[in-house]
Amino acid sequence: MNESLKGKSYPPVDYEVGREKIREYANAIGATAPENHDRDAAREKGYRDVVAPPMFAVVYSWMAMAAGVLDPEVGINFARMLHAGQEFVWGEPVCSGDTITTTTTLADLYERGGMEFYVFESVSVNQDGQETARGTWTNLVRTG
Amino acid sequence: MEPGDQIPELKVTPDKYLPYRYAGASGDFNPIHIDPEFAKAVGLPGNILHGLYDMALVARANVQAAGGDLRKLKRLSVQFRGMGFPEQEITVSGTVKEVRDGRAIIDTVAEQGGNKIIKNAEAELEL
């Protein structure tokens, strides 16, 4: 484990948010609120367009996260990796038509109890520069 | 909302094919979620639900507690512990821990068959 990599950042990744992708995600998690499916219903509630459920943040930030998780310099043994914890702090809601740009940083890495911990932070902003979500992804790798 | 109040429970039974739909929706095709034979080969009882799907149910329960307005869910932090499986009912429940500065902190848990699949979940709702 190379602790000097703490703070390493990865290039920003863009994600273009589509109405059907929001609907597909909302259906998968059982989010039936009309604003997650219908443009007129979303507009009536003050959104620009069909709005994504909060946990859609994993969809638009995953590709940016993958750059870190799969970085050979970090060297995570993906087959032994477990997702141990997750936090999101939400800002501006994400709607169909948005372009979300996510930047990932390896915020911390350490060993504890025979396990390696890798903590990534993702920061996502929309096309107007408003922060939509900040994620903290804690992954552990069993080394024993 | 007062400390000690319970939020309305959310009960969901993911069907056998839910992990395939979630994989497609999220882009996470890790075979432990969608291939029962692969899952058994690596020592699991069967294919397991995506942890981030379980977390999405915890988020739904908290949005529901906030009157259905997703803008009220400001933060959610979870730890993944047990494994969730398709075709078994999941119950998400929560208790208001504290209320201050126009925000409520909700301790939330997701259980399935007596196992806590998400614990120490903390949600922050705008009141």
Q: What is the pLDDT of residues A88-115, one digit of tens each?
A: 999 999 999 999 999 999 999 999 988 9
CB atoms B74 and A90 under 8 Å? yes
SS3 A93: coil
Q: Which fold has domain B6-126?
A: Thiol Ester Dehydrase; Chain A (3.10.129)
Is pLDDT above 90 for B106?
Answer: yes
* DSSP conformational letter for A48: S
CB atoms B63 and A54 under 8 Å? yes
Q: Give the closest residue to B86 by CA, choosing from B38, B32, B29, B27.
A: B32
CB atoms A86 and B68 under 8 Å? no
**Residue pLDDT, tens place only, B34-72:** 999 999 998 899 999 999 999 999 999 999 999 999 999
Taken in order of first residue, the domains within chain A and their CATH numbers are 3-17+54-142 (3.10.129.10)
Cβ atoms of B106 and B97 within 8 Å: the answer is yes
This prediction's pTM: 0.96
Question: In chain B, what are the domain boundaries?
Answer: 6-126
Question: Residue A77: what pLDDT?
Answer: 86
Question: Residue B78: what pLDDT?
Answer: 97
A33-46 mean pLDDT: 98
| Euclidean distance between CA atoms B83 and A126, whole angstroms | 34
In chain A, whose CA is at the least distance from the CA of B58? Answer: A55
How large is the ipTM?
0.96
